[in-house]
Amino acid sequence: MAEINYQTMDIPPEVPSSRSAYRRFLAGFAGVQAIGLVMMTLLGVFLYSFGKSGFAWDKEHVFKFHPLFMTTALVHLNSKGMLLYRLMRNRPKLPVKIAHACFNLMSFSMTIAGLVARHPAQK
């Protein structure tokens, strides 16, 4: 049996991983993603119906984008970007790194848009 290097936590490829633990992880991940999708939907519905004016990129209504963008970016997209390495641990590294970078870029751009949406409301 192959030895595990506990100083670097390198696990040789011949050490089998627990398939049932991975399936439980995937089930938990799917549940958390479903909760996140429901949360984003409820937030969008609440912000759309709050004040009976909907979404618009003008000075009066632009603040409604702030909580939507910040929650989407900092909670939903960042978590997906972080968990990508755990989900795709047996895939080639380059596509995983590119997908991770795309999630982080989307998160960063939505954070900037959320900050821009907050700024006109302060004036």
Burial of 111 (0-12, 13-18, 19+ CB in 10 A): middle
Q: In the CATH hierarchy, which fold is given to the domain comprising 19-122?
A: Four Helix Bundle (Hemerythrin (Met), subunit A) (1.20.120)
Highest mean pLDDT among 48-57, 59-68, 101-110: 101-110
- pLDDT band of residue 87 (cuts 50, 70, 90) is confident
36 contacts 79 by C-beta, under 8 angstroms: yes
pLDDT tens digits, one per residue of 7-26: 555 554 544 566 677 778 78
Domain ranges of the chain: 19-122
Whether residue 30 contacts residue 38, with contact meaning beta carbons closer than 8 Å, is answered with no
Helix axes of 93-122 and 78-87: crossing angle, nearest 10 degrees: 170
How much is the pLDDT for 15?
45
pTM over 0.75: no
Q: How far apart are CA 30 and CA 83, in angstroms?
A: 12
